[in-house]
Amino acid sequence: MRSTNRRHHCLWLIPALLLPMLAGCASSGSAPAADPASATEPAEQVNCQQVACVALTFDDGPGRYTEALLDVLAEHHAPATFFVLGKNVGNHPQTVQRMVDEGHQVGSHSYDHQDITTLTREGIEHEVQWTDEAVEQAAGVTPTVFRPPYGANGAVYNRLIPTPLLLWDVDTLDWSHHDPQKTVDITREEVKPGSVVLLHDIHETSLQAVPELVDMLQAEGYTLVTVDELFAHSDFEPGAVYSSLETGAQATPRDSSADAGD
């Protein structure tokens, strides 16, 4: 009977002895995953008043080609800004979350692409609010810039928008001609430091233009940035309209001979 009690006592000690060992194993395991937000933050913020920057912007998504576009942008380490329609966000919440996770910016393009100059005050507020809520629910962020559908705007309407309004100075007309090479050529002819390039991620031909477009811009010496990065060192006021950044920066084409020697 005495040996049985001693055996019970030893069995009772086993969990107590194992707990510190298990705790040690847990603490010596792999480090916790890095915060996704910190992983996407640039090491150094670009000053686009001093560096030749260009912002690529994509309207009307997310759609069936947006995931493939994100793949291309990731391969080229190229950030972009997506002006999403609120009605589309609910159908592609994971895509919007991916945009944020990979360092892109999500802007508002209204809820269902209505011309704000035809809406009442209440209608404009709904277009903004409903899109903000959709983006917040999908990705936990709130759009900080608004692109009015069709570029339509006016002082009486703009003051109802709680963020800056952004148009563009390079219209690729990708939605009209559906020609990837023409999209690249138009951009090459019209781009300058501080440009905002208008594209649409709902067309496959626009997606097809992006690899050459990005390569061309980078070869010409441009740094690709999000809209907020483009205007980070400049005035960018709620209710005001912008189409590009006024900057004295100059693009310096990359030395192709140096690349050939790599």
Structure tokens, 91: 């159908």
In a domain, 156, yes or no: yes
In a domain, 187, yes or no: yes
pLDDT (tens place) for every residue of the chain, 262 residues total: 444 444 444 443 334 434 344 344 333 333 333 343 333 344 468 999 999 999 999 999 999 999 999 999 999 999 999 999 999 999 999 999 999 999 999 999 999 999 999 999 999 999 999 999 999 999 999 999 999 999 999 999 999 999 999 999 999 999 999 999 999 999 999 999 999 999 999 999 999 999 999 999 999 999 999 999 999 999 999 999 999 999 999 999 976 555 554 4
Can 201 be counted among the known catalytic residues?
no
Can 177 be counted among the known catalytic residues?
no
Task: Output the pLDDT for position 126.
Answer: 98
| CA distances, 217 to each of 23, 126, 129, 210, 211 (Å) | 53, 37, 35, 10, 10
End-to-end CA distance of the chain: 81
In a domain, 22, yes or no: no
Domain containing 206 equals 53-247
Among candidate residues 229, 222, 225, 186, the one with its CA nearest the CA of residue 52: 222
Catalytic residue among 104, 200, 201, 203: 200
| CATH code of the domain covering residue 233 | 3.20.20.370
In a domain, 89, yes or no: yes
Task: Output the pLDDT for position 109.
Answer: 98
d(CA 227, CA 175): 21
Catalytic residue among 59, 60, 174, 201: 59
In a domain, 28, yes or no: no
In a domain, 79, yes or no: yes
Structural domains in the chain (count): 1
The DSSP output letter for 232 is: T
Q: Given 3-state DSSP classes, what are the helix, strand and coil percentages for the chain, each rounded to the nearest 5?
A: 45, 10, 40
In a domain, 197, yes or no: yes
d(CA 61, CA 83): 7
In a domain, 254, yes or no: no
Task: Output the pLDDT for position 38.
Answer: 35
